[in-house]
Amino acid sequence: MSALEIAAAVRSGERSALDVVEEHLTLIEARDPGLNAYNLVTAEGARAQAAAIDAAVSAGEPVGRFAGVPLATKDNMCTRGIPTTCSSRILEGWRPPYDATVVTRLREAGAVSVGKTNLDEFAMGSSTEHSAFGPTRNPHDPSRVPGGSSGGTAASVAAGFTPLGIGSDTGGSIRQPAAFCGVVGMKPTYGVVSRYGLVALASSLDQVGPFAANVADAAALFDVIAGHDPLDSTSIRDFEPTAQAVLEAGVDGLRVGVVKELAGGSGGVPGLAADVLARTAEAVEALAAAGAVVDEVSVPSSTLGLSAYYLVMPAEASSNLARYDGIRYGLRVDGATTAEMTTATRTAGFGTEVKRRIMLGTYALSAGYCDAFYGKALKVRTMMLEDFARVYERFDVLVTPTTPTTAFELGARTQDPLTMYVNDVCTIPSNLTGHPAISVPFGVGDDGMPVGVQVLAPASHDAQTFRVAAVLEAAA
């Protein structure tokens, strides 16, 4: 059953929320040891919430849009009184004193969080192999990665552990694992979904978004979590989430641009696999057959996104992660002086990839180098915004592959950071511009693994991505 079907059955009394939750907890207990999607399963809390929903249904009280629907929550969202680790040793023992806004909104909508899912440490990675709790595996083939950094959430939805999941996307961390795992994943416009309670990686890039097994569930989940939040200073005012309302609108007359540089065109990014490009071409043909007006378009600066991102993101991460010093919360390794204690704590608490990015970011911000690196990256970011603005004067949405390849094998790219970073080449532009984008499954590659197609839209046109995704889902 879909999330919306489960919720309808619970509201009508046809199904018990407690029975629904028990079924999913049983599945997690049986299968997750082989996948490692969860850092923590909150079984007793989930049962208590489900029982409260059943009591409310019996009393004729309102129970919310997602009444009784199991939910996976990425372990970088604050949950009051429940460990939030970011898959890092440095937050060992930390229990937040408050809930993230998205956690609150989903609880009020009746969704039942069954646990906290694994991720690349502090969301720094593209495979969920950089975790203090071990790698997560792809449910379609456990020898392969689920993508990252929200790999645990994507794996949970793909394995049927939960119909819904919440992740964060800084450079593709929702869309890339969604593509690898064959589920729907969406990054909203920056500021449309509250970041309050999301543990920051790169504050100008991070965004919370939905995972689901189908487009309709993802649209409903987006509509619940989107909207202004006074607790988030970057939250957009007066945004009205309307994703569900446009799912039947079709694409007749819609102007669709295929980004040449990200879809195998000359002068574009290298390394795009032939099978992924073939599925993307088929998706474009399906949109044309449904009435869309399709044409190729060039966005030259999109090829610079990877270079700009890997300066902007580490710089912001270096600043954000300075707070983990062994003094205020989390892990503390004793030392003779405060400086020695801080050094020992950060050495023991951070993993290799986090240390690498902190050093990159600190260097990019250092005196004598800031203008040459970080400053230049910001100029590229502005150039990308201008390029996309010009393109969106001619097109309503853009289409690209979500990832250059299908899911790769565990361990295949951990020794070469550059080959790992290239996984984000198609997703990064939307984070740098702050625009919405969605990944929807569209067939499989030559290896039988899922392929995702990405739909991009201008800022605040989030519903447009769901509108196109619904047509692609039907065609697929």
Q: Among all residues, which ones are annotated catalytic?
A: 74, 149, 173
Neighbouring C-beta atoms of residue 176, cutoff 10 Å: 32
Q: How far apart are CA 235 and CA 451, in angstroms?
A: 32
Q: How far apart are CA 210 and CA 153, in angstroms?
A: 10
Stretch (H or E) spanning 400: strand 397-401
Tokens, residue 471: 């047509």
Q: How far apart are CA 234 and CA 258, in angstroms?
A: 31
Cβ pair 91, 98 in contact under 8 A: no
Phi, psi of 233 (to 5 degrees): -70, -15
Classify residue 393 as exposed, middle or buried by CB count within 10 Å of its CB (0-12, 13-18, 19+). exposed
Between the CA of residue 65 and those of 5, 10, 47, 245, 326, what are the distances in Å? 10, 10, 18, 15, 41
Q: How far apart are CA 204 and CA 210, in angstroms?
A: 19
Cβ pair 155, 179 in contact under 8 A: no
SS3 call for 2? coil
Q: How far apart are CA 179 and CA 161, in angstroms?
A: 18
- Angle of CA points 18, 20, 22, to nearest 5°: 65
Cβ pair 395, 456 in contact under 8 A: no
Q: How far apart are CA 55 and CA 49, in angstroms?
A: 10
Eight-class DSSP state of 392 = T
